[in-house]
Amino acid sequence: MAPVVATPEKTEKLTEEQKKAILDAYNESLRDNGVDAMAALEEIRAAHGF
């Protein structure tokens, strides 16, 4: 199966805010300051009553 490749015409551009959020999250992961995925899911469940 051939890989799917995004075409520039169909790709949305990121805002500066989105780029900053991605870079901040990446930097957190490099320093291992990120939130554990299971802990994040539990917080979401508690906040939204799931």
Is residue 9 one of the residues assigned to a domain? Answer: no
Alpha carbon distances (Å) from 43 to 33, 46, 47: 17, 5, 6
Q: How far apart are CA 15 and CA 37, in angstroms?
A: 25
pLDDT recorded at residue 16: 96
* pLDDT digits 0-9 by tens, 5-40: 767 677 788 899 999 999 998 888 788 766 788 888
Is residue 10 one of the residues assigned to a domain? Answer: no
What pTM was estimated for this model as a whole?
A: 0.47
- Where in the sequence is the domain holding 28, given as residue range(s)? 16-48
Is residue 1 one of the residues assigned to a domain? Answer: no
pLDDT recorded at residue 46: 92
